[in-house]
Structure 1
Amino acid sequence: MSVRATAAEAYREALPAVTASAIGGLFAGVVLGGMEAELARVPGLLLLVPALLATRGNVYGSLGARLASALHQGLIEPRVSAGDPRLRAAVTAAMANGVLVSGFAALAGFGLLVSLGRPHASLATLLGIALIAGVVSGLLLTLAVVGVVFVGYRRGLNPDTLAGPVVTTTGDVVGVATLLAAARIVLALGGGV
């Protein structure tokens, strides 16, 4: 295959995913803009936004890469099977890492705010929001990553090309939306500042 043909194929596969990523990023910004009330009621919540969004991309991007590599090597089949130990291990590791890093982000953020003397919500509030958002976004991102990688592979697309933009877009949209939902849940349960 020529360099030109390879480049054309890469653009054909990546352009729709990158376009969707840009649109999804804008949507995530709109959701974040709608969080004014929650950001005002939970000092320090804004600090969690970039930390949690970045970790969604890192953790679930790794899941997409693991699945893509396993598909290319023939270690897994492009279908969801609860009995597949490799798939189950990859998903379990991603979920565990996602939840742990969410908790760590809340703890580190709280510590940073305290050490800088900045206004902050209670540790329980920030931790509750981060953990709820971590679990829910993890479940949704796992479904999205596994689905896109497997469906793309079955349709002859390179899952490595799809996984990055899909995880970025879905991670931003789902991350902000679940952070908003988690903040509302914790506030409704009486977890004010």
Structure 2
Amino acid sequence: MGLAALVIAGTADLVAGFFMVSMEEYILLVPGMMVLIYAAIGMRGNIFGAMGSRLGTAMHIGTFQISFKKKSVLRSNIEAAMALTLAMSVLMAFIGWVIVWIMFGDTYDFLKFMFISTFGGLLAGLLVMVVNIVVAYIGYKRNWDVDNITAPLIAAAGDVITVPMIFLATKMAVEMDDIYTQVGAVVLVIVTVIFVLRVATRKSKRKRKVDEAKRIVVQSMPVLLGCVFLELATGVLIENEKLRFIDYGVLLLMMTSFLNEGNALSGMLTSRISSMFHMGTLPRTRLPPRETFDNFAIMYILALITFLYIMGIAYVCQPDDLEFVTLLCIVMLSALIITTIINFLSYYVALAALKFRLDPDDHCIPITSSLMDVISTVVLVAVITVFI
């Protein structure tokens, strides 16, 4: 089941890669475009991957129901995810614009940059939300192990939906009159502030019981803010190498898939370890116990299959950019290093979340996903530099 989800995710990621290749004009036209794209992709996976993990845990402990009533698990998660989506889109635009100005000295109109981030993020968030609910519904009805399917499918949905939505918002910002996009940006920021404050200040009718949507937002916001910087760092690394990726189309095509397969693997393993901790089936030790070794081995097998699959499709689509052996060496060496890091990082992040009495579902996936985005980018760029 996990392999099937990863293959589907890899295929969807390649679709996102095709969008990237076809939109080279906008990548070159808008300064910081790659910074914003990869930050938006990563944040979508962080927010909705964590939501999927929470729903999976609720299924494991028997509290999940398909219900949109107030205070239900599903509705609380929907409200929290949308509040976080809006808030992080605004923060990404502001922080990203400042970083691009500092790092590259060339900037785009601030309100247009804000419009691209918030409007594109809102559209993508709504669509990924639908995918998340459908996955939860089917998994609940068919008694699937959601930990195995949520992370890869949501990561893929985040890619294949976020990239075209960001480019749609970019096309609007470039081609529409400035006044429309600037007013739109201001309106979206105001709506974000009102909605986030409404959720974050909500009071529960029961004394001493915190509203679930409020709890998720309050606990997730500090972690996601840190993740914003990590995701933007990923974007900066790619922005700095964008000419190389554009010159070698196979790398640009494969980049989104490569990063998010690593992201999906880390999310899958983190979800499993978090659920095992929740259920008390995994001892909490300084070194990963033997119970985790089987999961580690599975990660290597899944990584080998999925990365080879991605490389094969990408090479068939762009056969003239790189020699096959060179591309194979780049992919295999990068995959080996990245998967090893995934195994240990997922365990220790889940363990740290429990040690500091944080909800693993709210923190593990965002942290591991953001760290893996940066680490995977550094590893891939370093390996590419060695072979090209």
Using the size of structure 2 for normalisation, the TM-score is: 0.44
Among 74, 94, 119, the alignment partner of 1:87 is 74
Among 88, 100, 108, the alignment partner of 1:121 is 108
Q: Which residue of 1 aligns with 2:26?
A: 38
8 Å contact from structure 2 (residues 32, 97) kept in 1: yes
Q: Are 1:163 and 2:150 matched, yes or no? A: yes
Q: Which residue of 1 aligns with 2:90?
A: 103
Q: Deviations over 1:20-50 (max 9, x none)?
A: 1111111111101111222233222121111
Structure 1: unaligned runs, 5 residues or longer: 1-12
8 Å contact from structure 1 (residues 45, 126) kept in 2: no
Q: Which residue of 1 aligns with 2:219?
A: none
Distance 1:43 1:190, change over 3 A: farther
Q: Which residue of 1 aligns with 2:166?
A: 179
The total of aligned residue pairs comes to 178
Identity fraction in percent: 27
Q: Which residue of 2 aligns with 1:10?
A: none
Cα distance in 1, alignment partners of residues 39 and 139 from structure 2: 29
Q: Are 1:28 and 2:16 matched, yes or no? A: yes
Q: Which residue of 1 aligns with 2:35?
A: 47
Deviation at 1:66, TM superposition (A): 1.1
Match for 1:65: what amino acid? S
Q: Which residue of 1 aligns with 2:175?
A: 188
Give the CA RMSD over aligned residues: 1.5
8 Å contact from structure 1 (residues 149, 162) kept in 2: no
Q: Are 1:69 and 2:83 matched, yes or no? A: no
Deviation at 1:128, TM superposition (A): 0.3
Q: Which SS does the other structure have where 1:43 is aligned?
A: coil
8 Å contact from structure 2 (residues 31, 100) kept in 1: no
Cα distance in 1, alignment partners of residues 112 and 23 from structure 2: 16
Q: Deviations over 1:38-72 (max 9, x none)?
A: 22332221211111111111110011011111122
Q: Deviations over 1:2-28 (max 9, x none)?
A: xxxxxxxxxxx1111000111111111
Please tell me whether Structure 1 or Structure 2 has the larger radius of gyration of its CA atoms: 2
Deviation at 1:114, TM superposition (A): 1.6
Cα distance in 1, alignment partners of residues 51 and 91 from structure 2: 20
